[in-house]
Amino acid sequence: REHTFIMVKHDGVQRGLIGEIIRRFENRGFKLVAIKSIQATRAQLEVHYEDHKGKNYFESLLGYGSSGPAIAMVWEGHGVITAGRSILGATDPIKAQPGTIRGDYATAIGRNVVHGSDSEKAAKREIDVWFKPEEIL
């Protein structure tokens, strides 16, 4: 079973985009196998954003990420990691194509609405940070 971790970040929650983001994954035919509302801690975000340690924006990732509630989800389906990334669009919303979530709803890289795992390894690590195995149905 292929799984990916998708998070509606704090800015996406504040802007009322949870339903829109779920709809796009559902419309595509993917299955929602876990969902919860989270208040991320800095410690969780440090593991989640492990690959970004040392970058100049790392502190703002931790600060902003822990500043308000987010929605954590696990989606299942054939090719869901790659397809999920294309549903999200490019990391920098200015480069994201219209028709993608970021291309339709964002302009700033630090407020890019959603997160999606970029590899099988990242998906496993990220799902482990936010969910217990028994929470994934």
User: Does the footprint of ligand ATP cover residue 61 (CB under 6 A)?
Assistant: yes
Nearer to ligand ATP, 36 or 57 (CB): 57
**Nearest distance from residue 9's CB to ligand ATP, in Å?**
7
3-class state of residue 30 by DSSP: coil
User: Does the footprint of ligand ATP cover residue 109 (CB under 6 A)?
Assistant: yes
3-class state of residue 41 by DSSP: coil
Give residue 135's identity as a one-letter amino acid code.
Answer: E
Yes or no: say if 5 and 126 are a contact pair by the CB < 8 Å rule: yes
Task: State which of residues 76, 104, 118, 135 lies at the interface with ligand ATP (CB under 6 A).
Answer: 118
d(CA 85, CA 108): 17
- The count of other CB atoms within 10 Å of the CB of residue 94 is 11
Yes or no: say if 69 and 40 are a contact pair by the CB < 8 Å rule: no
* Residue 52 a catalytic site member: no
Backbone angles phi and psi of 57, in degrees to 5? -100, 5
Nearer to ligand ATP, 11 or 134 (CB): 11
User: Does the footprint of ligand ATP cover residue 12 (CB under 6 A)?
Assistant: no
User: Does the footprint of ligand ATP cover residue 33 (CB under 6 A)?
Assistant: no
Task: State which of residues 95, 110, 124, 128 lies at the interface with ligand ATP (CB under 6 A).
Answer: 110
- Which residues, in sequence order, are bridge partners of residue 32? 75
d(CA 113, CA 101): 8
Task: State which of residues 87, 115, 129, 130 lies at the interface with ligand ATP (CB under 6 A).
Answer: 115
User: Does the footprint of ligand ATP cover residue 24 (CB under 6 A)?
Assistant: no
Q: Site residues (CB under 6 A) for ligand ATP?
A: 52, 57, 61, 91, 109-110, 112, 115-116, 118
Residues forming the active site: 115
